[in-house]
Structure 1
Amino acid sequence: MRLSPDPQSSGISLLVLSLTFSFAIARYLFFDTSPVSAQSEACRLPSFRQIDHKLEPQNRYSNDPIAPALACGDLNQDGLPELVVAPAVTSDLPLLTNLRNGAFRVGYFLDVPYRDTVIGDFNSDGRPDIAGLTIFDTVTTLLGDGNGSFLPPNAAGEGRGTSVRRYATTLRATDFNRDGKLDLAVVSTLGNSVSILIGKGTGNFLDPINYEVQQNPHSLAVGDFNGDGASDVATANEYSETVSVLLNDGSGGFRLSHFAAGALPQKVVTGDFNRDGKSDLAIVNRGYNSVTVLRNDGAGSFAFAGRWDLPFTSGPIAVADFNRDGKDDLIIGHQYEGTLTLFLGDGNGSFCSQSRLQIGAASCCPVMDLCAIDVNSDGNVDVLAASESTVSVLLNEAATTPNAAPSITPISGVMAAGSISLTATIATVSDTETPAGSLQVEVTALPPAMTLSDLTNNNGTIRATFVLGCGALIGEQTIGLKVTDAGGLSASTTLKITVAPNSAPILGAYPDVVLGSGNATVSPTAKPSDNGSITSLTAVAQGYSGQLSVNADGVVTITNNGNAGRYLAVITATDNCGAPKIASFNFTIPSTPNVCSAIGFKEAVSVDAGTSPQALASGDVNGDGLPDVVAANRDSNKVTVLLGASEGGVRSLRTAFSYDVGANPRAVTIKDFDRDGRLDLAVVNRGADTVTILHGNGDGSFAVTGSYDCGNKPFSIAVGDFNRDGKADLVIVNDGIGSLAILDGNGDGSFGPPRYLYAGNSPQPALVADLNKDGKDDLVVANYSTNQVTTLLGYGDGSFENPRTFDAGPGWAPSPIALGDLNNDGNLDLVVGKTGFSQISVLLGFGNGSFGFYTAFLGGLEPQSLVVADFDEDGKLDVAVGNYQSNSVTVFQGNGTGNYDTLKGVYFNVGLRPLSLLSGDFNGDNKPDLVIANSGASSLSLLLNGCGER
């Protein structure tokens, strides 16, 4: 398609440069569209008019080989962008002032040998300045007066500028530490690094903090890659054929990861190519003569999305919406001839058109850098292209098309029951100009007795939560919906949902049991659930003088201090509309309960558990009815699976499998994450800042299925269902950034990106439990540096109340914690170990999420692990403590009041440096045993309960 010139254009403008004259020649560009079929309106081609500005070369600084680089910004605050060209093709730096209509003139010269520049307010005076990277690998600033004039370099003082690593090539400006002052990122090609220069707000910078990337980084891009509001960095590393992504912790520190980027990547830019609200990457590959797009998952991880061929060796690249269809496009310059390639985005992560723009005679004008900006305030994004001695202005003359109204499509078949808060996908929205995720959606009409509590737009998918009154709405109901685009146009529709009568909760069946001695727990075949919420869950046994309690999972605890006989336990679950569900089972108390005479364990049995076991988890991973153990091995970056075995009536543990995970695994947990009836693993990798998921095959073997970012220096992990969707979620404690990461489970073994919660200073272990007995998962965390514990009470929708803190008692450095009903009042109590002192504190719970004043007793040397169980089966919970320094376990007998006597602690020798402790019945005698991870001996110690015998 050949475009006709505008006969009204004069095509001439004047550019004054160092007392020599050159002409800016206007001409029209031609698109080579021969390989491209006819385009739809959704992928319409813009037209461009070109004006060239010749820069007369004079003496250059040295033989510096860096190609010209452009910086665009409004230097004189007239609302129009100016242009800085570096490196200086003369002995001075050209600053080109915008004269409108695509014409520029040189407004000022400064004797500075810059390789690259960036425009921003670096001294916080509201006026644009220039930061420049010199050929001497220093950064200096030119402070602006707001009228287009500048002070000499570093007029703010502090000498010759800030030094960076050798052969630094590119810099970008943003506020990395969110203090309101502009900072810089500088990439060093020979130094294989990125330097972060924190701005002082005076035009000067702190000394650089250097981050090693991979080989030969050529360019960098800045964007928010994980949606946390902090600016991150990506570099294109030519020789390693990767991009390095540095995720910002919000204070100016970064965590590094690398992703494959195609052959010889040289340039990288950010854009949202599939309009999902997440910053993707586009990379120019010199090795393929192509452009590669990496799609962002929203958590800062990138995957290959596609590769598109280019006609020539290419270099500069820019992202903008050139045809005003609301979709990101790409324009790429070719280094060995004067052409550009324009890719028009289709909004789905691909491109619907590729066209070439000739900006000069063939092979005359290699394109060295690009800037995409609206030069003449007509609403169209224009292009500025720099070659060795020419700046070409490509004025975009894309037709302005009328804004089209958005569309909204309701989802059919939405069902609800009359007792619930319904959360469902209710509609999809789209628009040709506004990204779907930016469309405004509202509910315009609701039936009586229904209220809207939440409405979200996730890239065009609309989800809502409606609260229905109990029994007030039955049958088909109509809801009004409206969508509005950025231009103010709207569309409306109605959603039909069918409301069924309320049904009773679901409650699984319970088996009949005979109690041997001590406490017993009985679990249902299915945990209580309801399409609304369960507001009451009770357990009673008529005539039984002991205690029965039931937790949110429906697990009934029977305290065996009642009279002998056969009893009927009745469990009742009631939903928020009053509908009950009843289940029952028989339990028998023998006439002579077998209470242990004392606490005692047999001599420890050592079992190989891989290199430096750090943490343990237990569950029946092969479905044979025997408890198995999984150990996280820090030094070998593995997890080891030990299966329970029974040979000749004697049970034991044997090492069966080991699997590679991430660097320095520190914690492990077991749960059925994909709901296939087989237990899976989640392993926290402290050295990699990730959590690895291993799918259980049901026979004790596993397969790694994914890895997810989870913060910085993750320390521990726990599982809960924080949004009550029936899918297991993860909570991971990051003591490196002082936060908890919540990863919402999708129910298929995968997880969403982390959501971060503040939980006090230096959090370490976290436990999940229903602390206030409202049926919703809560959290309790030990705060290592402040000698406190923190609770976060869950709302049941994935969010939590503000943290509450409690004094953890004498000593310092609390780390291990355990929960249990220590005084038999039906409320969960908290046990806290002090690794900085031999103190154990007990905080009795009130059942409302709070804890009382502590009591304390002395444990062993450096208690690193705790577990609560009834080891002597007297109906009162005991406390076992793993002592890291003395290579022992101490067990303290409970008296049912929550008090423990230091002098009555019983010591048992185990292996070297015990670090993790768990309890379970590992020999089938219905008595709780202990397993200890000996981090210094590469073994487990198995302590079998001797019921007083040692």
Structure 2
Amino acid sequence: MHSTGSYSSPYMVTVGDFNNDHRLDIAVANFGTNNIGIFHGYGNGSFESQIQLSTGSSRPITIIVVDFNNDSILDIATADHGTHSVSIFYGYGHENFSPPVTYSTGYDSFPSSLFAGDFNNDNYVDLVVANYGTNNIGILFGKSNRTFEKQITFSTGLGSHPYSVAVGHFNDDGFIDIAIANSGTYEIGVLLNKGNGTFANQTTYSIESAFPYAIDVVDFNQDNRLDIVVTNNGLENIGVLLGYGNGHFENPMMYSTLSYSSISVAIGDLDKDDRLDIVVVNNDTGSIDILLRYFEGFENQMKYSAGSSPQDVAVGDFNNDTRLDIVIANQDSNDVSVLLGNGDGSFENQTRYSAGSHPTSVAVGDFNNDTRLDIVVVNWNSNDVSVLLGNEDGSFENQTRYWAGSYPVYVVVGDFNNDTRLDTVVANSRSNDVSVLLGNGDGSFENQTRYSAGSYPVSVVVGDVNNDSRLDIVVANSFSSDVSVLLGNGDGSFENQAKYSTGFSPSSVVVGDFNNDTRLDIVVADKVNTDVSVLLGNGNGSFENQIRYSVGAAPYSVVVGDFNNDTLLDIIVANLYSNDVSILLGNGDGSFENQI
């Protein structure tokens, strides 16, 4: 793991050889800290510490790498959401870059996506940018001196809010065309290139009542005609539009993802059948969907057996074959199920490993620094945690168990003493405390140290709430209707709790920066009060009094993310008794709109 810095909020990553040493490097757009992070590769899978390139106050949201000035050295371009601009960093080839050269994309344009291509066939690289705020696509034509013309815009329609773009030859006329995900009007737009620096009026294709998010173009059905794939926020599907080769496309075919927030898509031949498959990242479910290609369409979802009463799931590559695997905590069968991925979109039948009594929460991490993922499970009825060390082949050693408090219900991992060894923290519901187990780096853990929390802690999260580069702990206490904040000392110990009132019976807690002040805030789902509590952080480990927002009946679980693509954190709550979810859109100042 390579840190991008506290509150960096890395938004997008790309790779390239920036210093011409024939080793791939990494570039990250750090939205929260207004910089680009460069990690130079050693060529063996490891990387140097981050080098930062300041982007001012730009809030970079998209990053691409291109050789703009034809000097055989890669340059970097960013779409700057905060300053409504595009920035170019010219590479010098010796781990150095020029200061940014910035081009305006227009007042309130909020550029959200960026792509490079030669749109007028003059052999100079041009840029296309999706201007979310001004409902248009901007083209910056490259000049002979390797600078760019002032942006020319092409409308995508009133309220269209284009979020992402992709380019390709849609009608075989030799000119690059543009496909657009118009999130505001629930449609895909296509701009056909006339070849003279202008584009035909947009042709649109409806994708029902979803927000198109990420878009890509590729030939799925091997007819030498480009097709379009788009992820949809708001509906549990993605859309595929097959191209006719004349600039027009079939109506979209929808494929289920079982996620309302599919935010990213990648294309590749996963099962080595010479046909392209789709991988979709689901923000709300913490999962990926794999759609394997056959010539008539994509296959339906596949189901796999687990143990009895599966309670929690985590994913990771357990056998280091670059294929994701699955682990599930099975409460009533007192074990965990491991399903190894085959790399063709399918999984092996489960292998089950004994845990303690009534496992309820599972997490993964490399606890013995052997580059193999291990498993930690909390066992509610046996008052302990099970650690299963991973072997090279994806199997696991028998559990080693460590005492926790009374009726532990939740586990997370983090490095609490800054020794690069993963530790664990457990919420103990009946003993009203949390257990911290420091890792020794060899897969074993020290005996627990317990710290008082409130009454009946049920959820825990970690984060640096006082900006001292040390992880702190936040606990939701169900019976005392408050949260406990335990500040970390950096040596694995924690200060006594400070408690802050919430609504009645909080059931879930997460942290995030809701007012863009680089200080972590807290949101809690209040199960009995049918609301959520937001506590804004002061940056010194203390918090303001709660502000409560109504949601559905018995809010049970809460997550945060940017669900309307305005770069401001929003809240989604799962409501247990009303069988629905509530969405509270953030205003960026720490307040939220009424629920949707």
Q: TM-score range by the shorter chain?
A: 0.5 to 0.7
Match of 2:493 among 834, 839, 850: 850
1:888 alignment counterpart: 531
**Structure 1 residues 684 and 711, CA gap change in structure 2 (3 angstroms):** same
2:322 alignment counterpart: 677
Q: 1:672 offset after TM fit, Å?
A: 2.3
- The residue type paired with residue 858 of structure 1 is S
Identify the range of structure 1 (736-745 vs 940-949) with the bigger mean alpha-carbon deviation.
940-949
**Structure 1 residues 791 and 713, CA gap change in structure 2 (3 angstroms):** same
Structure-to-structure mapping, 1:161-176, within 5 angstroms? none
**Structure 1 residues 514 and 886, CA gap change in structure 2 (3 angstroms):** same
2:188 alignment counterpart: none
- The residue type paired with residue 824 of structure 1 is N
Q: Note if contact 2:35-2:53 (Cα within 8 Å) is conserved in structure 1.
A: no
Q: Note if contact 1:684-1:714 (Cα within 8 Å) is conserved in structure 2.
A: yes
1:917 alignment counterpart: 558
- Is 1:509 the counterpart of 2:25? The answer is yes
Which ranges in structure 2 are unaligned for 5 or more consecutive residues? 1-22, 58-80, 111-232, 238-259, 268-277, 292-299
**Structure 1 residues 585 and 799, CA gap change in structure 2 (3 angstroms):** farther
**Structure 1 residues 827 and 862, CA gap change in structure 2 (3 angstroms):** same
Structure-to-structure mapping, 1:693-842, within 5 angstroms? 693-696=338-341, 702=347, 704-808=349-453, 811-842=454-485
Q: 1:750 offset after TM fit, Å?
A: 2.5
Aligned counterparts of 2:357 and 2:487: Cα–Cα separation in 1: 32
Deviations 1:703-739 (A, max 9, x none): 5432221111111111110011111100000021111
Q: Note if contact 1:732-1:742 (Cα within 8 Å) is conserved in structure 2.
A: yes
1:333 alignment counterpart: none
**Structure 1 residues 525 and 752, CA gap change in structure 2 (3 angstroms):** farther
- The residue type paired with residue 873 of structure 1 is N
Deviations 1:869-898 (A, max 9, x none): 123322111112122223333332222122
1:332 alignment counterpart: none
1:627 alignment counterpart: 281
Aligned counterparts of 2:501 and 2:29: Cα–Cα separation in 1: 38
Q: Note if contact 2:365-2:373 (Cα within 8 Å) is conserved in structure 1.
A: yes
TM-score (structure 1 length as normaliser): 0.34
- The residue type paired with residue 854 of structure 1 is Q
Q: Note if contact 1:514-1:589 (Cα within 8 Å) is conserved in structure 2.
A: no
Deviations 1:209-250 (A, max 9, x none): xxxxxxxxxxxxxxxxxxxxxxxxxxxxxxxxxxxxxxxxxx
3-state SS in 1 of match to 2:27: coil
TM-score (structure 2 length as normaliser): 0.53
Q: Note if contact 1:840-1:856 (Cα within 8 Å) is conserved in structure 2.
A: yes
3-state SS in 1 of match to 2:528: coil
**Structure 1 residues 542 and 510, CA gap change in structure 2 (3 angstroms):** closer
- Considering fraction of residues, name the structure with more strand: 1
Deviations 1:722-779 (A, max 9, x none): 0111111000000211111011112433222111112233322111111111111111
**Structure 1 residues 589 and 936, CA gap change in structure 2 (3 angstroms):** farther
- Relative contact order, CA 8 A, sep 6+: which one is greater? 1
Aligned counterparts of 2:345 and 2:581: Cα–Cα separation in 1: 18
Q: Note if contact 1:509-1:584 (Cα within 8 Å) is conserved in structure 2.
A: no
**Structure 1 residues 804 and 619, CA gap change in structure 2 (3 angstroms):** farther
Aligned counterparts of 2:462 and 2:510: Cα–Cα separation in 1: 8
Aligned counterparts of 1:643 and 1:706: Cα–Cα separation in 2: 22
Aligned counterparts of 1:747 and 1:617: Cα–Cα separation in 2: 34
Q: 1:920 offset after TM fit, Å?
A: 3.9
Q: 1:663 offset after TM fit, Å?
A: 1.7
Aligned counterparts of 1:834 and 1:617: Cα–Cα separation in 2: 29
- Higher CA-based Rg: 1
Q: 1:524 offset after TM fit, Å?
A: 5.9
Q: 1:620 offset after TM fit, Å?
A: 7.0
- The residue type paired with residue 829 of structure 1 is D
2:335 alignment counterpart: 690
3-state SS in 1 of match to 2:338: strand
Q: Note if contact 2:502-2:533 (Cα within 8 Å) is conserved in structure 1.
A: yes
Deviations 1:576-616 (A, max 9, x none): xxxxxx9889997999999xxxxxxxxxx98789xxxxxx9
Which ranges in structure 1 are unaligned for 5 or more consecutive residues? 1-506, 547-559, 569-581, 595-604, 610-615, 632-639, 646-654
Aligned counterparts of 2:562 and 2:507: Cα–Cα separation in 1: 22
Q: Note if contact 1:830-1:842 (Cα within 8 Å) is conserved in structure 2.
A: yes
Q: 1:520 offset after TM fit, Å?
A: 8.0
Please, what is the CA RMSD of the aligned residues? 4.7
Aligned counterparts of 2:261 and 2:418: Cα–Cα separation in 1: 26
**Structure 1 residues 530 and 522, CA gap change in structure 2 (3 angstroms):** closer
Aligned counterparts of 1:680 and 1:586: Cα–Cα separation in 2: 42
Q: Note if contact 1:620-1:679 (Cα within 8 Å) is conserved in structure 2.
A: no
Q: Note if contact 1:833-1:866 (Cα within 8 Å) is conserved in structure 2.
A: yes
**Structure 1 residues 583 and 925, CA gap change in structure 2 (3 angstroms):** farther
Aligned counterparts of 1:941 and 1:641: Cα–Cα separation in 2: 21
Deviations 1:839-879 (A, max 9, x none): 11111111111111222211122111111112332211111
1:901 alignment counterpart: 544
Aligned counterparts of 1:545 and 1:929: Cα–Cα separation in 2: 25
Q: Note if contact 2:534-2:548 (Cα within 8 Å) is conserved in structure 1.
A: yes
Q: 1:930 offset after TM fit, Å?
A: 3.9
Deviations 1:287-324 (A, max 9, x none): xxxxxxxxxxxxxxxxxxxxxxxxxxxxxxxxxxxxxx
- The residue type paired with residue 914 of structure 1 is P
Q: Note if contact 2:481-2:506 (Cα within 8 Å) is conserved in structure 1.
A: yes
**Structure 1 residues 518 and 884, CA gap change in structure 2 (3 angstroms):** farther
2:75 alignment counterpart: none
3-state SS in 2 of match to 1:726: coil
Aligned counterparts of 1:736 and 1:589: Cα–Cα separation in 2: 61
3-state SS in 2 of match to 1:510: strand
Match of 1:662 among 291, 298, 307: 307
Q: Note if contact 1:870-1:928 (Cα within 8 Å) is conserved in structure 2.
A: yes
**Structure 1 residues 675 and 508, CA gap change in structure 2 (3 angstroms):** farther
Aligned counterparts of 2:491 and 2:405: Cα–Cα separation in 1: 20
Q: Note if contact 1:738-1:761 (Cα within 8 Å) is conserved in structure 2.
A: yes
Q: Note if contact 1:715-1:733 (Cα within 8 Å) is conserved in structure 2.
A: yes
- The residue type paired with residue 516 of structure 2 is E
Q: 1:697 offset after TM fit, Å?
A: 6.0
Aligned counterparts of 1:567 and 1:829: Cα–Cα separation in 2: 37
Q: Note if contact 2:522-2:534 (Cα within 8 Å) is conserved in structure 1.
A: yes
Q: 1:796 offset after TM fit, Å?
A: 0.7
Aligned counterparts of 1:923 and 1:760: Cα–Cα separation in 2: 41
Aligned counterparts of 1:758 and 1:751: Cα–Cα separation in 2: 20
Q: Note if contact 2:29-2:36 (Cα within 8 Å) is conserved in structure 1.
A: no
Deviations 1:649-707 (A, max 9, x none): xxxxxx96654422222111122223333433211111111212234466876554322
How many residues are matched? 376
